[in-house]
Amino acid sequence: MSKAMLVLGIILLAIITFGIVNIVQNYQTGNELDYYLLKETTEAAMTDAVDVGYYRLSGLLRIDKEKFVESFVRRFAQNVSNSRTYDIGFYDINETPPKVSVLVRSETVATVNGESLGLSNRIDVILETKYHTNKLVTEMIRSGKLDYSEVDE
């Protein structure tokens, strides 16, 4: 009888251990996947949001806030897991120079005493390029034909 109880105890301990390992693996894998998804989506959305006309004229990068948010949400929604709840927060979006700060919170399916495990990933991205001066634009600004003094306001 004691050997049967010992075997039952070992099997029960193994099941509990496998459950805990599964929850921890889900948490760690989810955190890593969320981070890389956030990173790649932010970079792609910033590239989509670059104002090409402004770049051609002035040689400076500028992004459109609304276009960035739209592209980010669309791309992020296409690639997320349906088994989680996501909360996206945009904390800082600068058009010139292009910089964004995005925070993504997600909750896992696993619950312990009614509390779900929450993951939080934040990323700050600055889009850079080798700036160059456009001689034609510089001459037009000096002659007064082109005025960029109030563009960034």
**Run means of pLDDT, 10 residues per run, the chain, 153 residues:** 85 88 71 86 92 79 91 91 84 89 82 74 86 68 64 48
The CA distance from 53 to 97, in Å, is: 15
At 89, is the secondary structure helix, strand, or coil? strand
Strands 99-112 and 85-94: antiparallel
pLDDT confidence of residue 143: 75
pLDDT confidence of residue 110: 63
With contact defined as beta carbons under 8 Å apart, do 89 and 102 qualify?
A: yes
pLDDT confidence of residue 67: 93
pLDDT confidence of residue 56: 78
pTM listed for this prediction? 0.68
pLDDT confidence of residue 28: 67
The widest CA-to-CA distance across the chain, in whole angstroms, is 100
pLDDT confidence of residue 137: 67
pLDDT confidence of residue 76: 92
pLDDT confidence of residue 80: 84
pLDDT confidence of residue 153: 45
Locate 24 and state its tokens. 């921890």
40: amino acid identity, one letter: E
